[in-house]
């Protein structure tokens, strides 16, 4: 299967991210200062390995890690035995495995739009047909699902229901229940991409959709990338055992397992409680960054744009008062050493939104970057 190239703007973003002079105002990654690098170094020095630790792991991944993820998922109301869990090299690999392992070419994938899927193409590259459903539309998402599925059978519904990328919206408990009951009636499996849900600020979000799924309809994806370290490349999928076994079989064809060292480390962090402790610290740091960024927006973007106050996660989905979010704005920003994540990489015809992130740039960079961006925008308006 021949893969298409990334969008030009995505290629530009990937390239400019390596430039140390650039200010990354939209990056969906923790700042190096928020990664527990020294602590990880220490735990690697003090951990112990048995003779099997560094060999290939089982198809579903290291048993001890799956056991500790099973215990961790209980805290989210999810009942997943180690046998119904598999380890993957990040949430993105979970999507790739689902796409090549469970779907036929040409099948229709429904998803919430704007969407992370449009920025990475795990389904599009495998020849799936994507249909974006808006939460802002006249019809609710369940109504849209019923209408579309009545015409052509949908293969699955993909959602990031908690601290969405890029919009940072969170589905209410009722919305989760309605979605699940509709998808059950329509027999459409749900992919719940839950990589941000540990990053809540003032209050916990509703429990994952997987926690109310009694029919094995939901494949639940988690990851250590947004909380502990993206470079470890550790994520997981929870789902019905037969589906997990199929996906684990495909993963063996692809890479014969995720890094044993990373799996060992994450198991240590979950078992020892270090992960939970780190999360408490991280949430606090992100709240400080969110508040700082909101104060900058209030200072420089009043009258230029609208936004919501994030309740968790990394992003502020900023809606500009004029439709000027295009290649030109992106290039003007690059000239001033600012790297933006424009709305159109998440939703093809979007020319009004920017995804800002308070997780990556330093306070100093945010202050300079947001002020400079407001000047560019005023000039273009």
Ligand X SMILES: Cc1ncc(COP(=O)(O)O)c(C=O)c1O
Question: Which residues are CB-neighbours of 307 under 8 A, at least 6 positions away?
Answer: 297, 301, 316, 317, 318, 319
Please state, in angstroms and rounded to a whole number, the distance separating the CA atoms of residues 59 and 351: 44
Q: What is the C-alpha to C-alpha distance for residues 291 and 348, in angstroms, rounded to an integer?
A: 30
Based on the shown chain and the rule CB under 6 A, indicate whether residue 165 belongs to the binding site for ligand X.
yes
C-alpha 74 chain-centroid distance: 21
Selected from 23, 35, 85, 92, the binder of ligand X by CB under 6 A is 92
164 or 352, CB closer to ligand X? 164
Q: Which residue is nearest to ligand X (CB)?
A: 90
Q: What is the Cα–Cα distance from 63 to 70, expressed in whole angstroms? A: 10
Q: Which is nearer to ligand X, 228 or 296 (CB)?
A: 228
Size of the site for ligand X (CB under 6 A): 13
Q: Which is nearer to ligand X, 126 or 296 (CB)?
A: 126
Smaller CB separation from ligand X, 200 or 300: 200
| Shortest distance (Å) from residue 96 CB to ligand X | 9
C-alpha–C-alpha distance, residues 360 and 366, integer Å: 9
Which residue, 119 or 352, is less far from ligand X as judged by CB?
119
- Strands of the sheet with 315-320, listed across from one edge: 305-306, 315-320, 353-357, 341-342
Contacts of 191 (CB under 8 A, 6+ apart): 95, 98, 156, 157, 158, 159, 218, 219, 221
d(CA 22, CA 339): 7
CA distances, 352 to each of 11, 178, 317, 322, 324 (Å): 21, 30, 10, 7, 6
Tokens of residue 327, six digits: 């290649």
Choices 85-93, 148-156, 341-349, 359-367 (CB under 6 A): range interacting with ligand X: 85-93
CA distance 218 to 182: 13
> By rule CB under 6 A, what string of x and - marks binding of each residue 174-213 to ligand X?
-------------------x-x------------------
Q: Contact 338/373 with Cβ under 8 angstroms?
A: yes
Q: Is 90 in the site for ligand X (CB under 6 A)?
A: yes
Of the candidate spans 50-58, 71-79, 86-94, 288-296, the one that interacts with ligand X by CB under 6 A turns out to be 86-94
Q: Tell the smallest beta-carbon distance from residue 303 to ligand X (Å).
A: 30
Q: Using CB under 6 A as the criterion, what x/- string covers residues 64-83 for binding ligand X? A: --------------------
- Binding marks (x or -) toward ligand X, 223..252, rule CB under 6 A? x-x----x----x-----------------
CB of 205 to ligand X, least distance (A): 14
**Beta-carbon contacts of residue 138 (< 8 Å; ≥ 6 apart):** none
Q: Got the DSSP string for 174-197? A: HHHHHHHHHHHHHT--EEEE-TTT
Total residue length of the chain: 381
Binding map of ligand X across residues 109-148, x = CB under 6 A, - = no contact: -------x--------------------------------
Q: Which is nearer to ligand X, 57 or 164 (CB)?
A: 164
Query: Smallest distance, Å, CB 94 to ligand X?
Result: 8
Interface region with ligand X, contact rule CB under 6 A, candidates 40-48, 64-72, 90-98, 327-335: 90-98
Q: Which stretch binds ligand X (CB under 6 A): 57-65, 84-92, 266-274, 363-371?
A: 84-92
Nearer to ligand X, 15 or 242 (CB): 15
**What's the closest the beta carbon of residue 351 comes to ligand X, in angstroms?**
22
Largest CA distance in the chain: 64
Q: H or E stretch including 260?
A: helix 260-272
Residues binding ligand X (CB under 6 A) = 28, 90-92, 116, 160, 165, 193, 195, 223, 225, 230, 235
């Amino acid at each position: 299967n021949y893969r298409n190239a990334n969008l030009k703007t995505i290629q530009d973003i990937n390239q400019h991210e390596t430039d140390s002079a650039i200010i990354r105002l939209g990056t969906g990654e923790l700042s190096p200062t928020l990664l527990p690098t020294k602590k990880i170094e220490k735990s690697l020095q003090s951990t112990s390995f048995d003779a099997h630790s560094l060999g290939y792991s089982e198809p579903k991944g290291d048993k001890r890690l799956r056991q500790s993820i099973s215990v961790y998922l209980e805290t989210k109301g999810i009942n997943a035995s180690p046998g119904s869990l598999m380890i993957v090299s990040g949430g993105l690999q979970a999507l790739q495995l689902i796409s090549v392992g469970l779907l036929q070419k040409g099948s229709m994938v429904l998803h919430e739009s704007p969407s992370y899927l449009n920025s990475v193409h795990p389904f599009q590259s495998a020849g799936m047909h994507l249909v974006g459903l808006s939460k802002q539309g006249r019809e609710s998402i369940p109504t849209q699902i019923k209408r579309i599925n009545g015409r052509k059978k949908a293969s699955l519904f993909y959602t990031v229901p908690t601290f969405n990328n890029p919009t940072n919206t969170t589905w209410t408990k009722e919305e989760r229940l309605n979605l699940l009951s509709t998808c059950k009636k329509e027999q459409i499996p749900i992919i719940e991409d839950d990589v941000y849900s540990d990053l809540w600020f003032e209050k916990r979000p509703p429990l994952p959709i997987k926690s109310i799924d009694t029919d094995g309809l939901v494949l639940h994806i988690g990851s250590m990338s947004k909380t502990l370290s993206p470079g470890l490349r550790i994520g997981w999928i929870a789902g019905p055992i037969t589906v997990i076994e199929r996906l684990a079989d495909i993963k063996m064809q692809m890479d014969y397992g995720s890094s044993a060292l990373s799996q060992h480390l994450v198991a240590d962090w979950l078992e020892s409680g270090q992960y939970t402790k780190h999360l408490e610290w991280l949430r606090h740091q992100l709240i400080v960054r969110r508040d700082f960024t909101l104060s900058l927006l209030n200072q420089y973007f009043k009258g230029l744009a609208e936004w919501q106050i994030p309740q968790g996660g990394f992003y502020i989905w900023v809606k500009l008062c004029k439709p000027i979010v295009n290649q030109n704005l992106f290039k003007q920003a690059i000239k001033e050493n600012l790297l933006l994540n424009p709305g159109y990489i998440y939703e093809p015809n979007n020319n009004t939104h920017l995804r800002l992130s308070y997780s990556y740039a330093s306070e100093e960079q945010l202050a300079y970057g947001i002020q400079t961006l407001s000047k560019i925008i005023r000039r273009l308006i």
